[in-house]
A and B are shown apart, each in its own frame.
Chain A
Amino acid sequence: MSLARLCLAYLRLRLGTTLLNVTLIATGVAILASILLVGSQLRDRVQREIRGIDLVVGAKGSPLQLILSTVFHLDVPTGNVSTAEVAFVRNHPLVARAIALAIGDSAWGYRIVGTEPELLEERGVSLAAGRLWQAPMEAVLGAEVARSTGLGIGARFVGSHGLGGGFAHTEHPYLVVGVAARTGTVTDRLILTSLESVWRVHAPRTPAAYEGQQGEVTALLVRYRTPLAAVQLPRLVNARPSLIAAVPAFEAARLLSIVGLGLEVLRFLGALLLAIAALAVLVALTNALSERRADLALMRTLGATRGLLIRALLLEAMLLTTSGLALGLVLAHLSVELLVRMLPEARVSGLSGLAVASGEIWLVPALLLLAIAAAAIPAVRLYRTNLLRILAQR
């Protein structure tokens, strides 16, 4: 015999109520844990994507749109940057490096991004197979693109105009020359090629008219030469009539705060559910106490102290909440993992149900406090119970 065994026997005796309370707690925990899980992974993901990029320079428009379209590859670009402006940025003494991006076409829904080899170095992308492009119309597939299309080295494909499946550029097929290793970033979902490839696809039809020409780009990913540039360069860029400077760290924080608003609502809902669960546990324990008056009196005559009976009550509340906590955590991780596996949109976000959010650990003391709070009033009632009055009623 142990206190836990006694408590489990009582919980079994009222199985319906026990299951209901565990379910309530588990639902609250599952919502909170899912939000923590998704929120923390989103934050990590955003931080990973913007690492190494101090500033993004693009055509006038919304800075958030510029970041979303050129760093996260989610939105449409703000426009094009002329060759003169590209030269201005590249040659500025505050700029250590500026990597150009040319975006405009896609294949199978994956974006074709014209860029420079430095991008792969900057993003820490290595090749799993093949080589980097050396001539126009050669392409390197991101790991996810290669996996989902099944294309390998030597395969040919054509891009579609725009990012949502426009007309096909059949006259300009690409040749796959390399496949990138998986990075867990948006690069896995890109088709990388040279800037010249994108210019050629969108240039006048005679190749002769194109050769040797510099084209416009969508944006420049800038790395500062000195910390001073963080103060001066965005101001200088924004002063130019056709350019806008977007600081990824700032825009990412804005993005997270927008997403965070939705998460806050869900978090409130989860906390509300937990509060309701705490009330349900309180009611269940209070009812149990009334139902068990005879048992409690009997145990007192057998030699049980008030302290022992209060410990039993507390343990019962703990067993309820820890069961709810465990079940809720399992549900949260399972549901995120299922969501990722079932929805392609969720899969590309890089979320995983197998990850553990650091905030989840705080659910443990929070739930233990909830158990103590739920048991407090019944415990006081138990302490004040008049044993002789119960015995007199029997």
Chain B
Amino acid sequence: MFRRGAALRRPLHVWQVPNTVASNPDIAPVVLVDELRLSASGRSLVALERWEIYPGERVAIVGPSGSGKTTFLQTLAGLRSPDAGRVIVDGQELGGMSEARRDVFRGRHIGFVHQTLHLVTALSVLDNLRLAAFVVGKQVPDRRLLDLLASVGLESRALARTIDLSHGEAQRVAIARALVNEPRLVLADEPTSALDDRNARVILELLFKITKERSAALVVATHDGRLIGSFDRRLELGNER
């Protein structure tokens, strides 16, 4: 059994609020990070002995720009390999997979929301959702995709061209798309940084709501101080470097 909670080695700090899921020993973590070391340009960014995320948890990765938030998130998504250590998502070690298998695994088990990289411009809103299922070889009925769009308040824009959407609308479509394959883990990289206060709050609440409805774990990389208090836990990067 892994040690509950985040075992953190300096220079990283963690602050955690009590979590009913995390305190249940029968529930397996969605993400388990073991002896992880990340660096960039010869600079150490992340050093974690053991760190876990449980279903339904909402975790904020915080820190100033360049602290390694995106690098850490990309490592959790299997988009980059760590310098050392293991990342296990949904019971599967990402490092043990071939690149192609890891790609498909990511598509099926991990939803990713980017800061500005939202939608494929050549496709309609609905086709962007269909694309998420198609690239991993899944068939998802349009009805369910429309339900997802409805859950982000955009069912009426299903056939709209993506270039006709506002930034906030595109971000909401991206959130809906991240959930098409019913992932156990949703990663969001600075999803609110380009939004005003009101829209930032709307997007975050939306992420909380729809991940909670699906018992998916949510990890959000942010340096947006307005939002940090809303998370169950936070992992702080970049201190005492």
Q: Mark A1-29, 1 if CB is under 8 A from B, else 0.
A: 11001100110110000000000000000
30 inter-chain pairs at a CB distance below 8 angstroms, sorted by A residue, are A1-B127, A1-B130, A1-B133, A2-B134, A6-B134, A9-B122, A9-B123, A295-B120, A295-B122, A299-B120, A299-B131, A301-B106, A301-B112, A301-B114, A301-B117, A302-B112, A302-B136, A302-B177, A303-B135, A303-B136, A303-B181, A307-B100, A308-B135, A388-B74, A388-B80, A391-B74, A391-B114, A392-B70, A394-B115, A394-B116
Q: State how many angstroms separate the Cβ of A382 from the closest Cβ of chain B.
A: 14
Given contact pairs A1-B134, A298-B120, A391-B74, A305 touches B114 in the complex (Cβ within 8 A) = no
Residue B107, interface by CB 8 Å:
yes
Contacts of A307 in B (CB 8 A): 100
Which 9 A-B pairs give the minimum distances between C-beta atoms? A303-B107, A1-B130, A1-B134, A304-B135, A9-B122, A303-B136, A305-B100, A13-B122, A305-B103
Quick one: which of B124-181 are within 8 Å of A by CB? 127, 130-136, 177, 181
Query: Is B116 within 8 A of A299, CB to CB?
Result: no
Number of interchain pairs (Cβ within 8 Å): 82
Residue A237, interface by CB 8 Å:
no
Q: State how many angstroms separate the Cβ of A326 from the closest Cβ of chain B.
A: 23
CA distance A139 to B103 in the complex (A): 84
Quick one: which of B66-90 are within 8 Å of A by CB? 70, 74, 77, 79-80
Contacts of B99 in A (CB 8 A): 305-306
Contacts of A12 in B (CB 8 A): 122
Besides A299-B131, A394-B115, 19 other A-B contacts (C-beta < 8 A) = A1-B127, A1-B130, A1-B134, A6-B123, A13-B122, A298-B117, A298-B119, A299-B120, A302-B131, A302-B135, A303-B105, A303-B107, A303-B135, A303-B136, A306-B99, A308-B135, A391-B74, A394-B114, A394-B116
CA distance A394 to B114 in the complex (A): 9
Q: Mark A281-312, 1 if CB is under 8 A from B, else 0.
A: 00000000000001101111111111110000
Residue B239, interface by CB 8 Å:
no
Query: Is A1 within 8 A of B131, CB to CB?
Result: yes
Q: State how many angstroms separate the Cβ of A369 from the closest Cβ of chain B.
A: 27
Contacts of A302 in B (CB 8 A): 107, 112, 131-132, 135-136, 177
Quick one: closest A residue to B181, CB to CB? A303
Interface residues of chain A: helix, strand, loop or mixed (majority): helix
Query: Is B79 within 8 A of A387, CB to CB?
Result: yes
**Chain A contacts to B: CB under 8 angstroms:** 1-2, 5-6, 9-10, 12-13, 294-295, 297-308, 387-388, 391-392, 394
Quick one: closest B residue to A388, CB to CB? B80
Q: State how many angstroms separate the Cβ of B111 from the closest Cβ of chain A.
A: 9
Q: State how many angstroms separate the Cβ of A393 from the closest Cβ of chain B.
A: 10
Residue B199, interface by CB 8 Å:
no
Quick one: closest B residue to A301, CB to CB? B112
Q: State how many angstroms separate the Cβ of B179 from the closest Cβ of chain A.
A: 12
Q: State how many angstroms separate the Cβ of A268 from the closest Cβ of chain B.
A: 38
Contacts of B77 in A (CB 8 A): 301
Quick one: closest A residue to B133, CB to CB? A1
Contacts of A299 in B (CB 8 A): 120, 131, 135
Most buried by B among A5, A13, A301: A301
Q: State how many angstroms separate the Cβ of B230 from the closest Cβ of chain A.
A: 25
Most buried by A among B79, B134, B181: B134
Residue B8, interface by CB 8 Å:
no
CA distance A6 to B132 in the complex (A): 12
CA distance A45 to B108 in the complex (A): 63
CA distance A294 to B162 in the complex (A): 14
Query: Is B127 within 8 A of A9, CB to CB?
Result: yes
Query: Is B117 within 8 A of A394, CB to CB?
Result: yes
Q: State how many angstroms separate the Cβ of A67 from the closest Cβ of chain B.
A: 61
Residue B92, interface by CB 8 Å:
no
Query: Is B104 within 8 A of A391, CB to CB?
Result: no
Contacts of A2 in B (CB 8 A): 134
Quick one: closest A residue to B80, CB to CB? A388
Contacts of A9 in B (CB 8 A): 122-123, 127
Contacts of B177 in A (CB 8 A): 302
Query: Is B107 within 8 A of A304, CB to CB?
Result: yes
Contacts of B193 in A (CB 8 A): none
Q: State how many angstroms separate the Cβ of B89 from the closest Cβ of chain A.
A: 13
Contacts of B103 in A (CB 8 A): 300, 303-306
Contacts of A305 in B (CB 8 A): 99-100, 103-104
Q: State how many angstroms separate the Cβ of B167 from the closest Cβ of chain A.
A: 14
Contacts of B132 in A (CB 8 A): 302-303
Quick one: closest A residue to B112, CB to CB? A301
CA distance A9 to B120 in the complex (A): 10
Most buried by B among A1, A12, A294, A304: A1
Contacts of A10 in B (CB 8 A): 122
Q: State how many angstroms separate the Cβ of A235 from the closest Cβ of chain B.
A: 74
Query: Is A295 within 8 A of B130, CB to CB?
Result: no
Residue B65, interface by CB 8 Å:
no
Which residue of B104, B115, B118, B120 is within 8 Å of A303 (Cβ)? Answer: B104
Contacts of B133 in A (CB 8 A): 1
Residue B19, interface by CB 8 Å:
no
Contacts of B70 in A (CB 8 A): 391-392
Q: State how many angstroms separate the Cβ of A197 from the closest Cβ of chain B.
A: 76
